[in-house]
Amino acid sequence: MENLEKNFKIFLIENEPYLTISDNLIIGDLAIVTYNDNYASLVKCVNNEQINLFQNSKLSMTKSYKVILKPNQINLELEDLNKIKNIEGVINVEYVNGIITIL
């Protein structure tokens, strides 16, 4: 997977990190839906109507992100994991060749 020039973020849901990318969603995707990158919720995309509500919301502050790595798939050093858990809100990261770097 080529990941150059993409915007990656980590969201904590129930104290577990999810690596996301701002990308179009399709049925079957796992997504994080936020209000201006706050109040993150984990959602399974089950139909196009639901996806349109996330991606074409009349509320301009609604944002959606495709989950590309779940907590059990993320390899982080303990120090980085603790750093993420101590940050409030969204964490911008770089993801290149399977390596996550906190920005």
How far apart (Å, rounded) are the C-alpha atoms in residues 25 and 5? Answer: 19
DSSP state of 91: E
- Contact 95/3 with Cβ under 8 angstroms? yes
What is residue 15's predicted lDDT score, i.e. its pLDDT?
85
Say which range, 6-15, 24-33, 45-54, has the weakest mean pLDDT: 6-15
**2 has pLDDT over 60:** no
How far apart (Å, rounded) are the C-alpha atoms in residues 95 and 93? Answer: 6
Q: Please give the average per-residue pLDDT across 38-66, as a whole number.
A: 90
pTM above 0.75, yes or no: yes
The residues spanned by each domain of the chain are: 8-102
